[in-house]
Amino acid sequence: MTGARASIERQEDLSEALDTGGLRRRAITLAVILVIAGLVLLLAPGLGEVRDKLEGIDPAWVALGVGLEALSCASYVLMFRPIFCPRMSWKMSTQISLSETGVGALVPASGISGLALGAWILRQAGMPAEKIARRSVAFFLIKSSINFVLVAVLGFCLAFGLFGPDLSLWLTLFPAVMATLTIAAVLLTPHLGTGPDPRSYEGRTPRAVASARNALVTGAAEAVQIIRSGNWMPIAGSIGYYAWDNAVLWATFKAVGQEVPVSVVLLGYLIGQLGGLLPLPGGIGGIDGGLIGTLIVFGAPAAATATAVLAYRVIVFWLPLAAGAVAFVTLRRALRSVDSAGVCRAAVGAA
């Protein structure tokens, strides 16, 4: 009886998680924000140079940016399957991962919101909650690792004058040191060891803290193990996910006719993306402000930067959202099928 009740609760949870009503309301809210932002851009005084840049934008470079973002989404798919469910079909793993990118476009938060949707689906498929938590941490760390590695490498190279423009050590050496310390902390985390069983604690908050700690420790250990295993897909996927997305920003700078050193675009992108940690609708304000502010500090022209970032954000928002919406609809149909759900459970159970 208890097992049947738990199964029903899981199905209700999945229905709630896959309810399009909440996502539709969020999309409408975001559309209103975008309309207001567009009106401000078109009518506000002092933005004439930005409007001129937009009118003269090169559609060929914009089309290239769309193609580069498609490669970034494909890299996310490549990374997802071997970490979460190696034996699941490519079709279903693609549907889940693209659905995650779509939700991540609505609420970036460094991709955590998308991972949450994937966790609901995998839980319904029969994967134990502890395994989902562990592999979600591993996935997040592997996906984010390339960001910190590149900040460290580029920061040290710029600080020591190996290439790129002459910038302040606060803009080069300081980010490089902080990224290096973060990488070291992640590598040392598995040595902390797991704590007592969360069920031994009284109260919801202590149990949640203990579960989060254990998931972080075991997830970090699993991330290191995956990297050391030699499986090329997670590594190639994490590199491609950031590299192709970064290339979109480079293409939009080309589209507005502005030459910016590649080193500035790379480091400005990597640091500016931290604005995506804020759970704002579509990341509007967080990512945009972070990118524009960082790139200008690194020496990029203000009007060209604002225009390039705006074009970049349009591409990286609408393409993943559109692909994610299609994947989301087909995924819901697949999960309603008894046969598909059974295949999903078998694959996840064997993972």
| Confidence at residue 17, expressed as pLDDT on a 0 to 100 scale | 45
- The domain tally of the chain equals 1
282-314 per-position pLDDT tens digit: 455 557 777 888 888 888 888 888 889 888 988
Over 90: is that where the pLDDT of 261 sits? no
Query: Is the pTM higher than 0.85?
Result: no
Q: Which of 159-173, 217-231, 336-350 has the lowest mean pLDDT?
A: 336-350
Q: pLDDT tier at 110 (50, 70, 90 boundaries)?
A: low
| Confidence at residue 177, expressed as pLDDT on a 0 to 100 scale | 93
Dihedral sign, Cα of residue 23, residue 25, residue 26, residue 30: positive
Over 50: is that where the pLDDT of 325 sits? yes
Higher pLDDT, 33 or 237: 237
Over 90: is that where the pLDDT of 241 sits? yes
Write out the residue range of the structural domain in which residue 26 sits.
Answer: 2-350
